[in-house]
Structure 1
């Protein structure tokens, strides 16, 4: 897979950052370096994004386990022990040999994150991903959470499914300081992080939400994917209760001078109460977060 495809190039050119994108893109490789392997081995959480092989819907989901459940098992191979629940909308994608997946490991304790995109192969204990893109992101807009604990007796409840947001789900989104975005294009998939102060995601109606695209590394991998294919998946999680909210639908980017806003139309919502057994400490919001009212 090349560093950039036509969609990313189109957005870079529109914003006028192609030269900077070429410089930053030099950090993207296929190999998992020792420092990245060590980072993976410490994480209790991995977010994965992919398209359902039968419906084409794009979903993002969170996998969890004791540190070591995600690990590098080769120069270009990441192995994951465990799976999502059978009722998780991402489950069909994680059982298909050769599925294009995007993954992101994010550590709120250190405000570090690592993305690994590639092709999946199921195994008896989970799956492996052969890496095609591996890179780190800066800590901008990432909230710091000093510690977590495992709530051993927390049991996930039956998912609540719908075709639009409920009032409580809209409140959940508005109160969030973090979500994950899954996108794709014909040659690959990607999972990325979006962060800001609560209120940075605006719910316009039960079928539409939006967020301002804050200045970042200028690669425009996610927005480039959306320029090529509008299908997307969003994952919101409650860092205290473990509840997750997964959305699938389509997203479009609106450009107004130097400002960009992404509008997402919901087609399905899946809320999974107490889905994750992790309870994180209160956040320290990033000093880089803009005022969501601005």
Structure 2
């Protein structure tokens, strides 16, 4: 049963949860009716008790905001469990936790829009909260909640954190640049997780005005470094809200955050986004419904600032059969690099072919050699293959998105490989129909969001 708004929270009446950009994206994908039906039920104006307890136990919080120039940034706050609390259903308090090099440090004001994502990687649980800063004391803030909703465990790689002492020897190094360097490119090439902040701060957005910060997960290679100034990443199926893409249609500026889980580095990227809705380019990424192409404007990297290190990932079951995303990306890069009709190359790719099990589980090796043909042959073969795959993906997407309901996360990309039930240490079971409006059910993280 859906938890009613407690009397003490004085929650305002529900408002339309989507702005024009989100509605336009929903219409283009053919899911406007489904999104409207679920959005009115699943997006609350207060935090249910389960969410309040969840935020209070977290050692870190993903935060999205905009700086003085309107650029969105995704950042992390970290502290002992309890540094984030929810004393009332419509109040979220953040007791500091700012990390060195945070691009939003000094930008917060009373009235600033804030997007929050509570995520517990070792259980793959996450919940969302968006609101307005009501008070500030140093780097501590109190936020009035305007939107609260759950997300499912889909696409989250499980990791167990271990606290580490502060780095000795003074402040860790920081770097600011206009382009990626070799270390940045290496981190992106192996990334399986990132966070993205977007915003619609227009008064015309009404009750849907705000900042959004979202999780993105995929197999290593799902963030393609096209050059030191451009990235491409797939947009997979989700709950059809289109919070991120809807904001980008209104304002193409995005803030990306990549975490080096082994070293504790944080890589911040400010970029302008372009949505690739269809076409042969989608075939480079298994399961992609759309692509997001990002042109980098600024890069910031803070070394060893996180007070945690994480275990090896336990990969989300959705990626067990999507192991060739990285292979295709590398093949595409190799084809582009082959200059002249006689160029031939062999690319050997270690593919991810398992969901992974246990603390130290790694993706097993399945080496696949990809031959780059002569330029003319490669072009013809690639165009025929991509056109065929894009057509099949488009037809599957239209059929599945029309029937997709957020309570039942689908996996149309791998119908032959049912999702593997969660391991004992991972209490969530995304295969079970999600019921975000019943927060009293332990472990239900809500709708799958994109």
Retained in 2: the 8 A contact 1:21–1:218?
yes
SS at match of 1:165: coil
Equivalent of 1:117 in 107, 125, 130: 130
Q: Partners of 1:198 and 1:86 in 2: how far apart?
A: 27
1:262 lines up with 2:292 in the alignment: yes
Equivalent of 2:80 in 66, 78, 89: 66
Q: Partners of 2:130 and 2:166 in 1: how far apart?
A: 33
Aligned ranges 1:1-16 → 2 under 5 Å = 2-16=16-30
Structure 1 residue 93 displacement after superposition: 2.5
In structure 1, the partner of 2:231 is 209
Q: Which runs of 5+ in 1 are unaligned?
A: none
Aligned ranges 1:25-174 → 2 under 5 Å = 25=39, 26-53=41-68, 55-85=69-99, 87-94=101-108, 96-120=109-133, 121-124=135-138, 126-145=140-159, 147-154=160-167, 157-174=172-189
Structure with greater proportional strand content: 1
In structure 2, the partner of 1:271 is 301
Retained in 2: the 8 A contact 1:103–1:117?
yes
In structure 1, the partner of 2:253 is 231
TM-score of the superposed pair, with normalisation by structure 2: 0.62
- Relative distance call for 1:125 and 1:229 in structure 2 (3 A) is closer
Q: Partners of 2:251 and 2:106 in 1: how far apart?
A: 20
Q: Partners of 1:239 and 1:269 in 2: how far apart?
A: 18
Equivalent of 1:249 in 264, 271, 275: 271
TM-score of the superposed pair, with normalisation by structure 1: 0.95
Computed over aligned residues only, the root mean square deviation of the Cα atoms, in angstroms, reads 1.6
In structure 2, the partner of 1:283 is 313
Structure 1 residue 262 displacement after superposition: 0.1
- Relative distance call for 1:277 and 1:4 in structure 2 (3 A) is same
- Relative distance call for 1:271 and 1:87 in structure 2 (3 A) is closer
SS at match of 2:187: helix
Q: Partners of 2:70 and 2:138 in 1: how far apart?
A: 25
Structure 1 residue 58 displacement after superposition: 1.5
Retained in 2: the 8 A contact 1:43–1:67?
yes
SS at match of 2:317: coil
Retained in 1: the 8 A contact 2:98–2:139?
no
Number of equivalent positions = 291
In structure 2, the partner of 1:218 is 240
Structure 1 residue 75 displacement after superposition: 1.3
Q: Partners of 1:122 and 1:191 in 2: how far apart?
A: 21
Q: Partners of 2:76 and 2:107 in 1: how far apart?
A: 14
Structure 1 residue 46 displacement after superposition: 0.6
1:198 lines up with 2:198 in the alignment: no
Structure 1 residue 86 displacement after superposition: 6.3
Retained in 2: the 8 A contact 1:84–1:90?
no
Structure 1 segments of 4 or more deviating over 3 A? Answer: none
Q: Which runs of 5+ in 2 are unaligned?
A: 1-14, 203-208, 280-287, 329-450
- Relative distance call for 1:86 and 1:64 in structure 2 (3 A) is closer
Instruction: With a CA cutoff of 8 Å and minimum separation of 6, indicate the structure with the bigger relative contact order.
Output: 1
Q: Partners of 2:136 and 2:32 in 1: how far apart?
A: 37
